[in-house]
């Protein structure tokens, strides 16, 4: 049975300066779908150690509406993540992968 806790744990494994997608995290959890990841992040309490800001949609764009979305972009830029003219992140560049976590 998948739990939000499992998703939180995977998100916490995202290294600094890297970003991941809902679908990617879902696959890493296994037997989980992208929606559950989104729901899990939505369930994150304020002040949680989960780098939720390092999680974006498959398009490399921020799906988080409202002010939080703006802050997410700031946090990513603060970590060295670059955004595209369309406000999208180069997943090919900052996209995190368990195999890429060793070196760029």
CA–CA separation, 18 vs 89, rounded Å? 10
Q: Whose Cβ is closer to DNA: residue 59's or residue 100's?
A: 59
The answer to the question of residue 59 lying near DNA (CB under 7 A) is: yes
Q: Residues 6 or more apart from 45 whose CB is under 8 A from it?
A: none
3-state secondary structure of 11: helix
Q: Whose Cβ is closer to DNA: residue 39's or residue 82's?
A: 39
The answer to the question of residue 90 lying near DNA (CB under 7 A) is: no
The answer to the question of residue 88 lying near DNA (CB under 7 A) is: no
CA–CA separation, 83 vs 72, rounded Å? 12
CB 22 to DNA: min, Å? 3
Q: Whose Cβ is closer to DNA: residue 31's or residue 103's?
A: 31
CB-count exposure of residue 96 (10 Å: 0-12, 13-18, 19+):
buried
The answer to the question of residue 78 lying near DNA (CB under 7 A) is: no
Taking CB under 7 A as the binding criterion, the range among 37-45, 76-84, 96-104 that sits at the site for DNA is: 37-45
The tokens for 87 are: 């406000």
CB 102 to DNA: min, Å? 24
């Amino acid at each position: 049975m998948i739990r939000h806790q499992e998703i939180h744990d995977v998100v916490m494994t995202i290294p600094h300066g890297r970003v991941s997608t809902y679908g990617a995290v879902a696959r890493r959890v296994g037997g989980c779908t992208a929606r559950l990841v989104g729901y899990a992040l939505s369930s994150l309490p304020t002040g949680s150690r989960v780098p939720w800001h390092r999680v974006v949609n498959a398009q490399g764009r921020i799906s988080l509406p409202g002010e939080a979305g703006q802050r997410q972009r700031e946090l990513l830029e603060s970590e060295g993540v670059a955004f595209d003219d369309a406000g999208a992140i180069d997943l090919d560049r900052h996209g995190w992968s368990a195999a890429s976590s060793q070196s760029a």
